[in-house]
């Protein structure tokens, strides 16, 4: 029996898992194509890739920018980091392992994707987990490739403990596991780590699979387009070492991420007709939803100096989750991850004499607004235009206007104030007291949580903006699938890395049985 060849584009959170799982079958030939470098296994990694407490934002990055907010004719543009290496963003992120809540996935099912209800996806979450704290609970796994653990409160910095204590004093309950289905309040943050080592898909799934003879890893190879014949994907075209070549396959799985997957589709002539023709490319299939429905978790950082110069308990260790109680908002719609961070982990400048900061940033767990992306050029190496439209929806802005004064009050409390220094990024009292001025300050300050989703969303027949069906096959193109955060119809309330792992496991299971 001849082997079936599957190309997986992108070796990140979804792609590393799809390639690893498919290559468990000796009858599959899997080619994993990654635009960035392949740095191998768990030894001799650069410290910025090994240390889960210090996200890497520059050296292994795509150099993408985005318009975060747009108002009164002004666009607030900032860097939009995404990992470019084997492991993708899972190799550079903060290793935060928060799934979200059951209602996130039940919402996907209610939108016509019944295979994605909480009951349906839970087995795929537990499949990849090795939860070192709660592995014996019915909603966790204890034998998967991804280790998950939590810091005890004694391992939190003094300023973070003070913030957590203040939230509890204001009525929030305490929890032990924020991945418990009903967790709300304040508690430790789950992380996917081996000690302090970031447990990315590169050092778990891909490392376990790379010895297999039926898995080829092609790194430093930029996919320029999917090859399509008679509305069937038959391979990809790549640029590698200055040479453009084609790689044939029986099927193609795009796992290049929420930004790059729709870019590749449009470069292949699959997407909104007008946008493709605008850059001079030929339309293969008019698929209007490609690049639309871009959601991320907007957060507004409040930054203060840390009084203890010897503080080294860096990284995200604590989770605050509560309901804004704004009419029309979901329950548990606000997240925060109070943290002491080293200056190297920040996506914004601080004075040169500041080594570490306390960051307390209210984050919209369930934003209602959405943006879009489009091709800037027919050149595959050019970055697409990204418009996040943060807080453009009035419900989103209303919730943030309510959250900022609460967080400022927590920071000024008797328990927290003695642990922190001068504000480095915060509205002045005059701005905070003036709603119009506070709105403008928020729009100038809002940042990404690095959680883009939705630009190739799944949906049922009749959904004109659905790019894939609920089995993640691209509509109208045989042999072409998507397995990353771009398929999520609505952003989950947790961090997106674990949901991407789940998507990879779910798709791999279907592909192996097809």
Write out the two tokens for 72. Answer: 């009164």
Write out the two tokens for 327. Answer: 């009419």
Q: What is the pLDDT of residue 439?
A: 96
Q: What is the pLDDT of residue 347?
A: 67
Torsion sign, CA atoms 240, 245, 247, 252: positive
| DSSP-derived 3-state class of residue 222 | strand
- What is the pLDDT confidence band of residue 353, given thresholds at 50, 70 and 90? confident
Q: Residue 323: is its pLDDT beyond 80?
A: yes
CA distance 243 to 473: 30
CA 248 to chain CA centroid, Å, is: 30
Sheet with 221-229: strands ordered across: 221-229, 232-240, 243-248
DSSP letters spanning 24-61: TSTTEEEEEE-SS----SSSS--HHHHBTTS---STTB
Cα first-last separation, the chain? 16
Query: What's the pLDDT tens digit per position in 204-255?
Result: 999 999 999 999 999 999 999 999 999 999 999 999 999 999 999 999 999 9
**Per-residue pLDDT averaged across 4-33, rounded?**
98
Write out the two tokens for 445. Answer: 């300050």
Identify any residues that bridge with 30 across adjacent strands, giving them in sequence order: 6, 215
| DSSP-derived 3-state class of residue 511 | helix
CA distance 159 to 358: 7
Q: Identify the CA nearest to 11 among candidates 28, 29, 35.
A: 35
Query: If you ran DSSP here, which 8-state letter would residue 447 be given?
Result: B
**Per-residue pLDDT averaged across 338-342, rounded?**
88
- What is the pLDDT confidence band of residue 92, given thresholds at 50, 70 and 90? very high
Query: What's the pLDDT tens digit per position in 44-83?
Result: 788 888 888 778 888 899 999 999 998 877 889 999 999 9
Of residues 297, 319, 451, 471, which has the active-site annotation?
Answer: 451
Query: What's the pLDDT tens digit per position in 417-438?
Result: 999 988 999 999 999 999 999 9
Q: Identify the CA nearest to 257 among candidates 35, 490, 60, 39.
A: 35
Domains for the chain: give ranges and CATH numbers: 1-56+82-151+201-291+451-514 (3.50.50.60), 57-81+158-199+295-445 (3.30.560.10)
Are 253 and 247 a contacting pair, CB within 8 Å? no
- The pLDDT > 90 percentage for the chain reads 86
Active-site residue flag, 319: no
Place of tokens 């509305």: 231
Q: Residue 346: is its pLDDT beyond 80?
A: no
CA distance 400 to 404: 6
Q: What is the mean pLDDT of the chain?
A: 95
Query: What's the pLDDT tens digit per position in 118-173?
Result: 999 999 999 999 999 999 999 999 999 999 999 999 999 999 999 999 999 999 99
CA distance 391 to 67: 12
Query: If you ran DSSP here, which 8-state letter would residue 164 be given?
Result: H
Query: What's the pLDDT tens digit per position in 469-492?
Result: 999 999 999 999 999 999 999 999
CA distance 452 to 19: 22
- The pLDDT > 70 percentage for the chain reads 99
Are 146 and 128 a contacting pair, CB within 8 Å? yes
**Per-residue pLDDT averaged across 292-313, rounded?**
90
Are 448 and 78 a contacting pair, CB within 8 Å? yes
pTM comes to: 0.96
């Amino acid at each position: 029996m001849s082997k079936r060849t599957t190309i997986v584009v992108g070796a990140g959170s979804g792609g590393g898992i799809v390639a690893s799982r498919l290559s468990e079958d000796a009858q599959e030939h899997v080619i994993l194509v990654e635009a960035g470098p392949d740095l191998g296994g768990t030894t001799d990694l650069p410290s910025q890739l090994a240390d889960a407490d210090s996200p890497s934002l520059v050296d292994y990055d795509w150099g993408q920018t985005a318009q975060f907010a747009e108002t009164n004719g002004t666009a607030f543009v900032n860097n939009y980091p995404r990992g470019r290496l084997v492991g993708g963003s899972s190799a550079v992120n903060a290793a935060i392992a928060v799934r979200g809540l059951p209602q996130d996935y039940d919402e996907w099912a209610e939108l016509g994707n019944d295979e994605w209800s909480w009951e349906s996806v839970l087995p795929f979450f537990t499949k990849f987990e090795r939860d070192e704290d709660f592995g014996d609970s019915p909603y966790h796994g204890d034998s998967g490739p991804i280790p998950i653990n939590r810091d005890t409160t004694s391992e939190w910095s003094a300023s973070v403990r003070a913030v957590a204590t203040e939230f509890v004093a204001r009525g929030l309950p305490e929890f032990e596991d924020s991945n418990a289905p009903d967790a709300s309040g304040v508690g430790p943050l789950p992380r996917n780590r081996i000690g302090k080592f970031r447990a990315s898909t590169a050092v778990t799934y891909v490392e376990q699979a790379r010895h297999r003879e039926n898995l080829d890893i092609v790194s430093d190879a930029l996919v320029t387009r999917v090859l399509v014949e008679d509305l069937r994907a038959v391979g990809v075209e790549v640029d590698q070492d200055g040479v453009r070549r084609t790689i044939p396959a029986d099927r193609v799985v795009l796992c290049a991420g929420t930004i790059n997957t729709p870019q590749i589709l449009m470069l292949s002539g699959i997407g909104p007709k007008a946008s493709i023709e605008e850059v001079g490319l030929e339309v293969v299939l008019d698929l209007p939803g490609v690049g639309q429905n871009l959601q991320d978790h907007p957060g507004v950082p409040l930054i203060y100096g840390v009084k203890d110069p010897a503080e080294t308990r860096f990284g995200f260790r604590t989770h605050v989750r509560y309901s804004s109680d704004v009419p029309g908002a979901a329950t548990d719609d606000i997240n925060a991850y109070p943290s002491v961070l080293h200056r190297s982990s920040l996506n914004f400048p601080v004075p040169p004499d500041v080594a570490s900061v306390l960051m307390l940033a209210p984050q919209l767990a369930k934003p209602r607004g959405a943006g879009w992306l489009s091709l800037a050029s027919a050149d595959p190496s050019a970055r697409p235009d990204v418009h996040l439209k943060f807080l453009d929806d009035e419900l989103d802005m209303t919730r943030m206007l309510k959250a900022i004064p609460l967080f400022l009050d927590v920071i000024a409390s008797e328990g927290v104030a003695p642990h922190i220094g001068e504000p480095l990024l915060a509205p002045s009292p005059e701005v905070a007291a003036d709603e119009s001025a506070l709105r403008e300050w928020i729009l100038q300050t809002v940042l990404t949580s690095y959680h883009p989703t939705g630009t190739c969303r799944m949906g049922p027949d009749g959904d004109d903006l659905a790019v894939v069906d609920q089995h993640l096959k691209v509509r109208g193109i045989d042999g072409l699938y998507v397995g990353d955060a771009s398929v999520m119809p609505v952003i989950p309330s947790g961090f997106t890395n674990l949901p991407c792992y789940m998507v990879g496991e779910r798709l791999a299971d279907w592909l192996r049985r097809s």
